[in-house]
Structure 1
Amino acid sequence: MIDLYLWGTANGLRASLALAECGLEHRVHKVDITKGEAKKPEFLKLNPAGAIPVIVDRDGPGGKPLTLAQSGAIVVYACEKAGRFIPTDPRRRALAAQYFAMAASDVAGTSGTIFRLEFVVPEKSAANVEFFKQILLNYFRVIDQHLAGREYLADEMSFADLMLYPNYAARGPLLEAAGGMEHLRAWAARMAARPGVQQGMNP
């Protein structure tokens, strides 16, 4: 049994999505970051950084418990534990690694910057928000071009798709307003139709 500690952010949903798609039995514990619950002593024992998501796998490697933070690490761990969504073909695995990294750094990092500029920083700047929105849209357009003729990022469902989808879903209004990107939209529709994705996005 895996205990999953999360809140309904893109970071948290990546972990939930991976566990659900991999078919790994887990219990969900909501950690309300808007109320500072991730900074409480009991949670800091799990992750001293005070950030979700975190998993505690009671049956980790070697049969020993494992506590793991960082959504990307949890996605990869879940896929390896389940033996799913890691392409065996070297070229496909390399593509999965490339787009996993793009989702984790470029897409998620820029999306997080937009959130902070809109809601966290004391001095708001519409120009700065728009600047980073255009950067994010450019990343999605690059992914859209890559998906032409492909069903998934690595030609088969992989850990890269699990990493990207929650940020796509979180930025739905921005993408809808931008228009285009039909290959990306078709990919998102395929993802949304998967039972594991539906479960993982609604923990």
Structure 2
Amino acid sequence: MIDVYAWRTTNGLRATIAMAECGLPHRVIPIDLGAGAHKTPEYLRINPASQIPAIVDPDGPGGQPLMLAQSGAIVLYACQKAGRHLPADPADFARAMQWCMQAASDIAGTSAAINQVENVAPEKVPSTIELFRKRFLRYFGIAEKQLRDQQARGHDYLAGPLSFADFMLYPNYALRRDALPATDFPALAAWGDRMAARPGIQEGMRLHTEKNSPKA
């Protein structure tokens, strides 16, 4: 049984989605960031960086316990452990890696920056907020084009078959869907609907959809 320490952020939801989609036995342990649960001595022993998500797998590689942090590393670890959602074609796998990195860096970084300039920064600078909003839309415009190109080839997902790349991108889309209207992003909206209909995605999103989740 893998312990998954997460919260209802995009990073945390990536980990819970991957575990659910890969069918790995796991339990989600909510780490309420607002309550400072990520700063407790108990959690710092799991992840000294004081960030979520993190996992503890008592049956890691070689049968040895494994502690692992960083959402991208956890998503890939889950897929590799389960042997699922890893494109068999080398070109598809390379594309999945590209979109995994795109989601983890450009898209997630811009989404986090929007939160900082809109909600955290003591001075709200409209020009700075607009800059990051435009950057966010531009990055998702690239995802829209990728999905349209895949649709033209008869595929429904970022790298052809459903892959770890889709798990990395989906929380960023789901939590900011209101900023991505279907009229401007039709392929993205259709992809989002396909993802949302999957039982594994629904299970992995529970921390977000069930606002009254128990707190750590």
> Where on the TM-score scale, by shorter chain, does this alignment land: which range?
over 0.9
Equivalent residue, structure 1, for 2:206: 202
Equivalent residue, structure 2, for 1:145: 145
Q: Deviations over 1:7-34 (max 9, x none)?
A: 1101100000000000001111111100
Give unmatched runs, 5+ long, in structure 1.
none
2:187 paired residue among 172, 179, 183: 183
The offset of 1:130, in angstroms, is 1.5
Structure 1 CA distance for aligned equivalents of residues 82 and 119 of structure 2: 38
Structure 2 CA distance for aligned equivalents of residues 53 and 21 of structure 1: 17
Q: Which amino acid aligns with 1:114?
A: I
Equivalent residue, structure 2, for 1:158: 163
Percent identity over the alignment is 55
Q: Deviations over 1:140-162 (max 9, x none)?
A: 11110111113000110001000
Alignment of 1:79-118 (within 5 A): 79-118=79-118
Q: TM-score if structure 2 supplies the norm length?
A: 0.91
Structure 2 CA distance for aligned equivalents of residues 101 and 141 of structure 1: 16
Local SS of the residue matching 2:87: coil
Structure 2 CA distance for aligned equivalents of residues 179 and 111 of structure 1: 21
Local SS of the residue matching 1:4: strand
Structure 1 CA distance for aligned equivalents of residues 203 and 29 of structure 2: 15
Equivalent residue, structure 1, for 2:211: none
The offset of 1:93, in angstroms, is 0.4
Structure 2 CA distance for aligned equivalents of residues 141 and 163 of structure 1: 17
Local SS of the residue matching 2:56: strand
The offset of 1:131, in angstroms, is 1.0
Q: Which runs of 4+ in 1 moved over 3 A?
A: none
Structure 1 CA distance for aligned equivalents of residues 197 and 163 of structure 2: 16
The offset of 1:173, in angstroms, is 1.2
Structure 2 CA distance for aligned equivalents of residues 36 and 106 of structure 1: 27
Q: Deviations over 1:103-160 (max 9, x none)?
A: 1101000000001111212222122112101101011111101111130001100010
Local SS of the residue matching 1:67: strand
Give unmatched runs, 5+ long, in structure 2.
208-216
Q: TM-score if structure 1 supplies the norm length?
A: 0.97
User: For the aligned residues, what is the CA RMSD?
Assistant: 1.0
The alignment status of 1:60 with 2:60, answered yes or no, reads: yes
Q: Which amino acid aligns with 2:136?
A: L
Local SS of the residue matching 1:156: coil
1:192 paired residue among 189, 196, 199: 196
